[in-house]
Amino acid sequence: MGLPDASGDLSSEMEVDAFRRLFPLRYFERHLSESIRPDARPLGRARDTTLALGAVASAHGSALAKIGSTTMLAAIKMEVMTPFNRVTGRRLHWPAEAAPVISKQLSDTISSSGMINLKELSLVSGKAAWMAYLDIYCLDADGALFDAALLSAVAAFSHLQIPIVSLNDDGKIELISEEDDGAKLEVEPVNKEKRKLTLSSIPFSLTCILHKNYILADPTAEEESIMETAVTVVLDSSSRLVSFYKPGGPVLAHTSAVQDCVALTRQRVKELQNILDETLSGMEID
């Protein structure tokens, strides 16, 4: 910040909290030069990540994702529509300015990754198809919002149970509720087999902060506000690049930084894939 030399002398006398508030950048740089961050993480390590599936009982698929204290709740509601079928995003309870941008990024990422085979959402070709409404609630925003949003969305899609429907005499689609499954055996369900989506090439993301020559993986809100250059890399499970997103920022990304960010994301994709697999297999046992 403004007075680098003055702060250098003061740091030995001042209380840590006061120093952190007055010279936030200096405070961080002192940590970074020791290859550690104020929350005791090494520069390239992401925060603890947890996933819980089925958090919303009324939705057809839902997931709660926590990265550090950033918390996102995703819920999917299925509705029968006449095709064109597509995945839409609706979002509420978001930090106001970020909402439309992240929402757009998220629907771009999900559609361009080809994770969902839209043919699987078709019920009667050309007549009826599923519309998946994805709602994501940001319960706590502490940096790396897009990463948490994408993780919760992906987990919700892998948890998704498509409801059983049947064609009635008028050629209209009717929901068969779980309870009277036995009673309505005379009507043939349209989608008995297709209750789960087969997700191919699942996208995972990692946001990194670039500051001087340092690369900080999975920043907190404090780190994002002090060091402004963020890069979000999205890779799918077969390590293809779905998105390389760097909206401006004072630090320029040179080839070496691009490659380092991609390498960090590759590691992170493996971690997240494991977390997702473990959570899913945990569900099956229950």
Q: How many residues bind other proteins (CB under 8 A)?
A: 36
Q: Of 77, 124, 226, 245, which one interacts with other proteins (CB under 8 A)?
A: 245
Q: Does 172 bind other proteins (CB under 8 A)?
A: no
Closest separation in Å from C-beta 273 to other proteins: 17
Nearest approach, Cβ of residue 226 and other proteins (Å): 11
Residue burial 249-264, b: 16+ Cβ < 10 Å; e: rest: eebebeeebeebbbeb
Query: Residue from 138, 242, 264, 269 that binds other proteins (CB under 8 A)?
Result: 242
Among 117, 198, 200, 239, binds other proteins (CB under 8 A): 239
With CB under 8 A as the contact rule, the residue among 49, 62, 70, 105 that binds other proteins is 105
Q: From residue 267, give the alpha-carbon distance in Å to each of 154, 239, 257, 271.
A: 18, 10, 16, 7
d(CA 213, CA 221) in angstroms, rounded, equals: 20
Interface with other proteins in residues 185-214 (CB under 8 A):
201, 213
Q: Letter for the amino acid at 80?
A: V
Note whether 104 binds other proteins by CB under 8 A: yes
H/E stretch holding 216: strand 214-217
In the bound state with other proteins, the residue whose beta carbon lies nearer, of 125 and 238, is 238
Among 30, 122, 137, which residue's Cα sits nearest to residue 90? 137
Is 243 a binding residue for other proteins by CB under 8 A? The answer is yes
Gap between the Cα atoms of 49 and 71, Å rounded:
10
* Closer by beta carbon to other proteins, 145 or else 242: 242
Q: How would you classify the pairing of strands 173-175 and 165-167? A: antiparallel
Chain contacts with other proteins (rule: CB under 8 A): 97, 100-101, 103-105, 108, 112-114, 201, 213, 229, 231, 236, 239-256, 258-259, 262
